[in-house]
Amino acid sequence: MTAHNAEINGGEPDEIDYDETYRETASSGGPPWDIGGPQPALAQVLDNGVKGPKVLDVGCGTGDLAIALARRGYEVTAVDISRVAIDMARAKAASQGLTVNFEVQDARALSLSSAPFDTVFDSGLLHSLNRRGGGEVDEYVALLPGLAAPGASVFVLAVSLKAGHGWGVTEDLLRAGFPEPEWVDTEVEEIDVAAETGGRQLLLAGFLLRTVRAFGT
């Protein structure tokens, strides 16, 4: 999961050096989105909502979701823009004897030889992308049909603008990224997104989108 600096211009995220953020917070528990496990709102999905065998985790951070999926026997590829986070994720998986294909990649220009996947997770990435003039969100969601096999499930967990921090997404923006006929059976659920800062646990208003890559499109 990724997040932004609280200083936002016009509802858009500031640029963040994620490598620097992970280094600076390593001794204090990590950045707010690094909660030591998958987001609680994904618990039911992990238990009975994942199609396999191939799963992609985009914006994986230090790998907790990817590792939870690997522990359940899935063939997991996980990517993040931060090399520091990926190094942490690799070490974490190795310490647990689990195999995950971790790669350093920019979500706006993904190139994965193992695509397409049967399930794709975005746990806190989309809400960190800039939306001015379409921008990074459009670049990112335009790649997803090529990453999701026909019939694949896609899950997007994002902080809501209603969380009151000056950034986030709306339900309309989420749905606009996954239009018919390319995507079907789309549902958006209001959820709590967990975060930790200064030893305090926080719950932020958010959304969990579930959709399916249509056959024949």
Contacts of 179 (CB under 8 A, 6+ apart): none
- Measure CA of the first residue to CA of the last residue in the chain; give whole Å: 30
pLDDT in tens, 170-206: 999 999 999 999 999 999 999 999 999 878 899 999 9
Question: Given this model, what pLDDT does residue 216 score?
Answer: 80
Q: What are phi and psi of 190, to 5 degrees?
A: -80, 130
Question: Given this model, what pLDDT does residue 6 score?
Answer: 32
> Residue ranges of the alpha helices (H) in the chain?
18-25, 43-48, 64-71, 83-95, 135-147, 171-176
Go through the domains of the chain in sequence order and give each one's CATH number: 32-213 (3.40.50.150)
Question: Sign of torsion, CA 61 62 65 66?
Answer: positive
The 148-159 sheet, strands edge to edge: 101-104, 75-80, 54-58, 117-123, 148-159, 200-213, 183-197
Question: Given this model, what pLDDT does residue 164 score?
Answer: 85
Closest CA to 176 of 163, 188, 194: 188
Question: Given this model, what pLDDT does residue 166 score?
Answer: 80
Provide the residue-wise pLDDT of the chain in tens; the chain has 217 residues. Answer: 444 433 222 344 456 899 999 999 998 889 999 999 999 999 999 999 999 999 999 999 999 999 999 999 999 999 999 999 999 999 999 999 999 999 999 999 999 999 999 999 999 999 988 754 458 899 999 999 999 999 999 999 999 999 988 889 999 999 999 999 999 999 999 999 999 987 889 999 999 999 999 998 7
Let me know: does 152 contact 117? Beta carbons within 8 Å. Answer: yes
Question: Given this model, what pLDDT does residue 109 score?
Answer: 93
- pTM for the model stands at 0.91
